Chain A
C-alpha cells in the first residue's frame, strides 16, 4: 500500500512537469498552429545554460535567473522571429519539419559545446524524506509538485483574470476579430512564445536534478509532452494539465506493474485509444473539420 502511495506521488510529480511542457506546447498550437517537435530539446537546453553560467562562476540562484532569461530570449523571441515568423503562413507541416531540424541542431550543439556525457545538476529542493499521514514521501517530489502547481495556477490566473490574458485568448481563438477590436495580435502571439520558453525553463530546472542533464534527454520528454497534450485535449490548457498528470502517473504505475520492457508502450496504447475514440482529447472541445 505504501508502495502504491509512493508511486502515485512520484507519478504526480513527473506528471506535473510533463504538464508544464504540455501546456506550453498547446499554447503554441493555439496561437500559431506551431507543432513544436523541438519542445523536448527546449526542456533539455535551459539546464545546460544554467550549468554554463555556473561554470563561469555564477552562484546557483544567479545561474537560474540567467538561464531562464536566456531561454526566454533564445527559445522564445529568437525561435518565434527567426524560424516561426517566416514559415507560419506556409502551413503546419513545413514548420513542423523545420522544428525537427531545430531539435537535431540543439541536440548536436549541446553535444559539441558542452558534453556528450550526462552531468549532475543541483536540486532546488533539499533531498530527503518527510512523513505525511505516516508515509515517507521524498521532499523532491513535494517540491516539484508545489512549484509546478504554482506555475500552472499563475498561468491560468494570467489567462482568465487579467486583461492581458483575455487579449491572448482572443488572439488565439479568433485573430481576425481580435485585430478588429484592437488587440495587438502579433505581440500576443510573441508573448505566448516567451511564456512557453519560461515554462520549459522551469520544467528543465525541476526535472534535470532527477534525470541528469544530457543532450539526448529531450526525446523522451518531448514525446511525453506530446502525448499529454493530445490525451488531455490539444486546444485546452486544463486538458494539457490533466493529460500531463495522467501520463506521469500512468508511466510510473506501468513501470511497476507492467513489464519494464513494455513500460513505454502503455502511454502509447492509451494515446491511440484516446485519439480513435475521443480525438478532441479527454477535456478538449471538438474542432470542426476544415474541409
Chain B
C-alpha cells in the first residue's frame, strides 16, 4: 500500500515536470512570461517558506531581497558582466543583508519582528527610488540583456522560460536537501520551541540568523532572474506589496510544507490571469477567494490535504484495530 503510494507520487511528480517542460512549447509570448514569473516567484516564496514556515521567523521583507537581487543583476549585466557572476554577487549581497536583518529577530519576535522587517522593506524601496546614480531612480534600468547559457542565447521567451524552470529545479533540490539535513531539523526545532531547542544544545542564535540569511539569499536568486525576465526594472514592483504578496503565497499554499510555495505562487500569479475574463473584477475575486480559502483552511491548501490524509490514516488505523479486536474476541 505504502509502496504503491510512493510509486504514485513519483509518477505524478514526473508527469508534472514533463508537463512543465512540454506543454509550454506552443504557448505564446505572454503565457511563457506568466509561467516564467511563476517559477521566479516560487523561488522567492520558497526562501520565505524556509524563514517563516520552517524556522518560524516572520518576515515582511522578502520583496526587498527580490529587489536587491534584481538591481544587482540589472546593474552588473548592463555593465557587461555575465549573469552567473551577477547571480553570485546577488546571492552574497542578499545573504549578508539578510544576516544583518536577522539580528532584530534575536531580540524581538512575532508581530514586532514583522514590523521591523516591514520598515526595512520600505527603506529598501526608498533607496531603489532615490539613489538614481546607481538604480536609475524612478526611470529604472532598461535593456537588461538575457544570458547565454553554454553558448545558447536565451533571448527568446521559450529558452528563458527553461532557464527559470531549471533554476527552480536546482533551488528545489537544494531546499529539499536542506530541510532534511540536521540544519532543517534545527530550523523546525526553532519554530516549535526555541527555549527547548536551546536547552538541547541547538545554537538558536546562529540558526535564527541562518534562517534569515538563506531565505533572503533565495529572494536574491529570484530577483537576479526577474531582471532579465522583464528586461526592464523600476522601483515600483519591489515595494511593500511584493513582500505582502509573497507572504500571502506562503500562507495560502501552506507554510511549512515543501510544495506550499509552488501552489501559493500558482494562485497568486496564475489565478488573477485566469480571472481576467471578468475584467475589472479579477483582483476583487482573487481577494475573496484567498479569504474564503483561509476561513476554510487557515493552514493553506496543503493543510486541507494534510488533514484529509491524517483523517484517512486514523480511519485506516481504527479499522485495523477493529479487525484485530474482533479477531481477539473470536479467538477467546
Question: Which of B43-51, B104-112, B146-154 lines the interface with chain A?
Answer: B104-112
Total interface residues in chain A, CB < 8 Å: 42
For residue B322, CB closer than 8 A to chain A, the reply is no
Whether B291 pairs with A268 at a CB distance below 8 angstroms is no
Residues in B whose Cβ lies below 8 Å from that of A92: 110-111
Q: Please, how many angstroms separate the alpha-carbon atoms of A189 and B237 in the complex?
A: 38
Q: Contact partner of B193 among A91, A97, A262, A291, CB < 8 A?
A: A291
Q: Contact partner of B195 among A91, A268, A291, CB < 8 A?
A: A291
Q: Please, how many angstroms separate the alpha-carbon atoms of A138 and B110 in the complex?
A: 42
Total interface residues in chain B, CB < 8 Å: 42
Whether B126 pairs with A261 at a CB distance below 8 angstroms is yes
Q: Which of A96, A104, A291 has the most CB of B within 10 A?
A: A104
Q: Please, how many angstroms separate the alpha-carbon atoms of A275 and B106 in the complex?
A: 12
Whether B284 pairs with A108 at a CB distance below 8 angstroms is yes
Q: Which of A83, A90, A95, A108 has the most CB of B within 10 A?
A: A108
For residue B167, CB closer than 8 A to chain A, the reply is no
A97/B111 contact (C-beta < 8 A), A83-B295, A87-B298, A108-B283 known: no
For residue B290, CB closer than 8 A to chain A, the reply is yes
Q: Please, how many angstroms separate the alpha-carbon atoms of A90 and B294 in the complex?
A: 10
For residue A279, CB closer than 8 A to chain B, the reply is yes
For residue A132, CB closer than 8 A to chain B, the reply is no
Whether A262 pairs with B294 at a CB distance below 8 angstroms is no
Whether B288 pairs with A93 at a CB distance below 8 angstroms is no
Tell me if B's interface is mostly helix, strand, loop or mixed. helix
Q: Please, how many angstroms separate the alpha-carbon atoms of A105 and B287 in the complex?
A: 5
- Least CB distance from A223 to B in Å reads 7
For residue A4, CB closer than 8 A to chain B, the reply is no
Whether B291 pairs with A262 at a CB distance below 8 angstroms is no
Q: Please, how many angstroms separate the alpha-carbon atoms of A95 and B114 in the complex?
A: 14
Q: Which residue of B lies closest to A280 (CB)?
A: B112
Tell me if A's interface is mostly helix, strand, loop or mixed. helix
Whether B123 pairs with A94 at a CB distance below 8 angstroms is no
Residues in B whose Cβ lies below 8 Å from that of A219: 240
For residue A146, CB closer than 8 A to chain B, the reply is no
Residues in A whose Cβ lies below 8 Å from that of B298: 87, 90-91, 94-95
Chain A 275-291 against B: per-residue CB contact (8 Å), 1 yes, 0 no? 11001000000000101
Whether B111 pairs with A100 at a CB distance below 8 angstroms is no
Q: Please, how many angstroms separate the alpha-carbon atoms of A204 and B30 in the complex?
A: 40
Whether A275 pairs with B130 at a CB distance below 8 angstroms is no
Query: What is A's interface to B at a CB cutoff of 8 Å?
Result: 35, 37, 83, 86-87, 90-98, 100-102, 104-105, 108-109, 111-112, 219, 223, 226-227, 230, 234, 261-262, 264-265, 268-269, 271-272, 275-276, 279, 289, 291
Query: What is B's interface to A at a CB cutoff of 8 Å?
Result: 58, 104, 107-112, 114-116, 118-120, 122-123, 126, 129-130, 193-195, 240, 244, 247-248, 251-252, 255, 280-281, 283-284, 286-288, 290-291, 294-295, 298-299
